[in-house]
Amino acid sequence: MGIIRAAVQTVTGALGDQWEEVIEPDDMGGETVFTSGIPKKSGGGKGTKNVISNGSVIHVYDNQFMMLVDGGKIIDYTAEPGYYVVNNSSMPSMFNGQLEESLKEAFNRFKFGGATPMSQQVFYINLQEIKGIKFGTRNPINYFDNFYNAELFLRAHGTYSVKISNPLLFYKEAIPRNAQRVEIDDINEQYLAEFLDALQTSINQMSADGTRISYVASKSRELSKYMADTLDEDWKKLRGLEVLSVALASISYDEESTKLINMRNQGAMMGDPNVREGFVQSSIARGLEAAGSNANGSAAGFMGMGFGMQAGGNMMAGASAANMQQMQMNQEAAKAAAANGASKAPETGGWTCGCGAVNTGKFCAECGKAKPEEKGWTCSCGAVNTGKFCAECGKPRPADEKWTCSCGAVNTGKFCAECGKPRS
């Protein structure tokens, strides 16, 4: 018993009335993974339950895997859309469609073993990507972050999608016995537990790879790869199911992790003397504002503030002085670096601006003026040159020709009349 591909015109044309019955898949939504076929008589009405008549036509749509089952065993299948005729005298045809040749090996393990047929049915498996499967971590996942040098804890929520890559294996291992229709939620409890376990393993792997915790939410693609690698053994090889994508909707930290992150970020900001000085000045400003709005009168407020300033004035003054000193040191270091770069400018092909600054870039570091373009000269042979000799005829550049110095002065001699720079 098997199936034979039928031409479209024989099914939809005049010969269509001769077919015993037509089998269509039951409604298959985006979350349906498995459903039975519905036999319909050619003249209308439903066919005989659990009996597939010889010569019946089975309709297979895109992204569907059809199985012809007899006595609980798979006797033929197809993953190619079209019309197929049931022929009890034929051998299995096994139309693989988009699936791999390894599917035939799986068929040989699960096929009909020669028992007397008792029940004949057609089933369909959804080959589309099953999307929008929600997940959320019940408990925080530990995550050691090298940047913060601390063990942090996060929670993750989002969705993932799966695809059935080996429908025969999926039918054997994942579909409940005697089921006529299965939605992903009907079998997802076990898979979700395994998914969350793999999620923790994958997130820990991201931690080991040095990914900063704040970047985890933007690493959905990498996380999908980690998940696929982790679940391939259990899902793809044992159940014919694989993870396609993981979308993280939110990443949140537990209370202690949030405190540690905020403390570290605040400390990093306070390492900047400009930020520290701004904090000192704003603290004083807030104190003055609070003193002016004192319920006992601004005089009392300012008096209290005066006592406070007297007590903590030395500390505030010392902090402000330290901030100013560090800012001044930073400025001097920047100037020294600039001066060091300027002194090396002539050795690296630098140019002197009209303001006197020596630069290496296209704009002056002091006044922002653009680097003047070198003016060429035209030889008597017609060639335009920038060097001292013509590139065409080798004739030297005329000495009395006018040339423009980088300072902007126009000269005729070998040296600039304004800055003394030699003619290039």
pLDDT, tens digit (0-9, with 9 covering 90-100), for 115-136: 334 568 899 999 999 999 999 8
53 in a structural domain: yes
Same domain, 39 and 136: no
Q: Is 219 inside a domain boundary?
A: yes
Cβ count near 121 (within 10 Å): 19
Q: Which residue has the tokens 């089998």?
A: 23
Is the domain of 161 the same as that of 86? no
Per the listing, tokens 């040749």 go with 101
Cβ-Cβ contacts under 8 Å for 161 (sequence gap 6 or more): 129, 130, 131, 132, 133, 243, 244, 245
Domain-embedded: residue 246: yes
Same domain, 134 and 184: yes
**Same domain, residue pair 136 and 114:** no
Output the pLDDT for position 168: 92
Per-residue pLDDT at 124: 96
Q: Positive or negative CA dihedral for 298, 301, 307, 312?
A: negative
Whats the size of the chain, residue-wise?
424
- 155 domain residue, yes or no: yes
**Please, are residues 222 and 119 in contact by the beta-carbon 8 Å criterion?**
no
Q: Which one-letter amino acid corresponds to residue 339?
A: A
Tens digits of per-residue pLDDT, 242-262? 888 888 888 888 888 888 877
Q: Are residues 105 and 6 in the same domain?
A: yes
Boundary residue ending a domain (258, 286, 305)? 258
Residues 101 and 169 in one domain: no
Angle CA 270–273–274, to nearest 5: 100
One domain for residues 284 and 254:
no
Regions of the chain with pLDDT less than 50: 13-17, 112-117, 302, 312, 342-348
Does the residue 58 lie in any domain? yes
Do residue 47 and residue 162 come from a single domain? no
224 part of a folded domain: yes
Contacts of 4 (CB under 8 A, 6+ apart): 84, 85, 87, 90, 93
What is the pTM for the complete model shown? 0.55
Question: Are residues 99 and 181 located together in one domain of the fold?
Answer: no
**Domain end position, chosen among 315, 337, 359:** 337
Domain termination residue (choose one: 102, 126, 150): 126
Torsions phi, psi of 6, nearest 5?
Answer: -110, 145
Rounded to 10°, the helix 220-231/188-208 angle is 120
User: Is 318 exposed, middle or buried, given 0-12, 13-18 or 19+ CB atoms closer than 10 A?
Assistant: exposed
Q: Both 227 and 188 in a single domain?
A: yes
Phi/psi region, residue 62 (left: phi>0; alpha: psi -120 to 50; beta: rest), is beta
Q: Are 200 and 286 within one domain? A: no
**What total of structural domains would you count in the chain?**
3
Locus of tokens 């996942």: 141
Quote the domain boundaries for residue 305.
271-337
121 and 142, same domain (yes or no): no
